[in-house]
Structure 1
Amino acid sequence: MRKVMIALISLSMLATPVAAKPPLRDVAAVDDALLYLGLADRIRNECPDISARMFRALGYLNDIQKTAKSLGYSDDEIDAYRKSDAEKARMKSRGAAYLKANGVDTSDPQSYCALGRAEIQKSSRIGSLLRAK
C-alpha cells in the first residue's frame, strides 16, 4: 500500500503543469531595460556633445541578462529574443515613439542633445548611461 501511495504522489507531481514563462517582450524588467539602453545608444550616436558611459552600459547589459536568467530564461531564449527581427522592429518603434513624445526631431541632432541633457539632469536610467562632453 505504501508503494502505491508513493507511486500516486509521484505521478501527481509529474502531472502538475509547469507554469509557462511569458515571452521576454512581456517582462518589463528586461524589455524596458533594453529600450533604455537602445535609446541611450541612439542619443549618443546622434548628439556630438554626448558620449556613453561604456562601462556602466556594459554592466547594465550584464544585469539585464542576469535578470532574465534569474527568471528562468536560458541563454538560447535570451539570444532568440535579442536577435529576433520582429523584436528589433518592435523595439525600434517603441524607441521612435519615446523620442517623438520627448520632442526629438530626427533630422536635428541638437534635439537629441536636448533630450540627452534632460535625461542626464533628471538622473533617469537613460541619463545614467550618458555623459555630456
Structure 2
Amino acid sequence: MRGYGGDCAVCCPKNTWRRLFHKIWTIQALFQYNLRGRLATEGWDTGRSESQIVPVILGSPERTMEISSKLRDRGIWAPSIRPPSVPAGESLLRLGFTAGHTGELVERLLETLKVIGRHPGPDMRDIPI
C-alpha cells in the first residue's frame, strides 16, 4: 500500500476508495456542524469558519490560555491561538476534526466545556473552573 492511488489500487477498486472517502468526509462534516450548533446553543462563539477547524472565539489571550490549559488537564487537546496569529481581542481555541474522532469524544468535549464555563462572557473571574 503506497498512498491513495498507488499499488493498493490493485486490491481496492476505485469506487471503493471513493465510497470510503465520501463516508469519512460525511462523518467529519456531521461532527463539525453538530458541534458548531451545540456550542452556539451553549453560548460559545464559533465564528464563520466552515472547514474542519472549529474555532471557539474567547477574546482575551489570558482567558484562552486558561481554558486551553483546563481542557488539556482533562485530556482534551484544544490549542490556544493568540496574537499575533489572530487580531487582538480575537484569541481562540482551535478544535480540529479528523476521521478518528467519535461521537463520544465530541460529547466529552461539550460536557467538559460546560464544566469549565457554561456561559462565556467578557470576563471569566466569576466562572468556576
TM normalised by structure 2 equals 0.27
Larger strand proportion of the pair: 2
Larger Rg computed on CA atoms:
1
Q: Which has the higher contact order (CA 8 A, sep 6+)?
A: 1
Larger helix proportion of the pair: 1
